[in-house]
Amino acid sequence: MDVLETSLMQKTAFALHATLKYKYLFAQQRGQPDNEKHGGAYAANLDDAAGYPSRCANKMKTDNSAIAAEIKQKSVIDMALTFTAMIRLFEKGSKPKISQKLHSEFQKLHKIRNVDEFHTFHRDFCKWFTKSVKTAQKERNNKIIKASGLALYGQAAKLLDVTLKVYVYYSGLPDKHTSDVLVPFLNTAIDNPILTHLKEAFPNEIIHAKTVEQIDHQTYKKLQRFIKLEIKKNFDNDIVPTQYDDIMWYRLNRAQ
């Protein structure tokens, strides 16, 4: 609501207040037989009209707070998508679609109460992503070297995990209570350096994927299990997967 609308609303409220006050006094002066009934009604309306500007102001304040909260959420999602460094992998125009879907799905986060519900939430988003988002066509010397196709599970999972980390763990959204509940459930965002590290850390395990694009749902679950084993072995279970993510990203990228 802009300044002009606010001013008009206030003027209307005060005009209504003055009109009702005139009618109330006029009824009293004429001593109408039904003065008590109508005068009481006028008085009630007068009180109601007198409080109208303050109620409008309170509503405006509530509406503005809600608008600000929504913009904050959308801005954090936008920053998180940039932080993933993955948008360039998808066809032109994908970012608004992905951002809108994330914002819509994140409105459900406060309903998640246990890790199984979180896994369902995670799986459903990745399923939508791999059916709705396409990769960008790759060209070299005006020749197509890789055609556009549907996004892969590993890409969907990494994008969601990074965005959730920024939204829930870094920003404490959608609220502190929900963030506290969700942080232990969040997964490590697996990129190529972490994938390589895990394959070296568990040499006896069969992991065929060499890049994030080659990670399917079952491989993703296996890698997250390895991460929990690493947290137990190397970090005494003192950190959660999102913190492991930060520590290992720093270590592995510094080593390059």
Domains of the chain, by residue range, sit at: 3-62, 85-255
Cβ pair 241, 187 in contact under 8 A: yes
**Alpha-carbon span 111 to 127, nearest angstrom:** 20
Cβ pair 188, 158 in contact under 8 A: no
CA torsion sign, 110 to 113 to 118 to 124? negative
* Pairing verdict, β 138-140 and 143-146: antiparallel
**Alpha-carbon span 98 to 120, nearest angstrom:** 19
**Alpha-carbon span 101 to 94, nearest angstrom:** 11
The per-residue pLDDT for range 187-246, each reduced to its tens digit, is 999 999 999 999 999 999 999 999 999 999 999 999 999 999 999 999 999 999 999 999
Predicted confidence at residue 4, as pLDDT, reads: 41
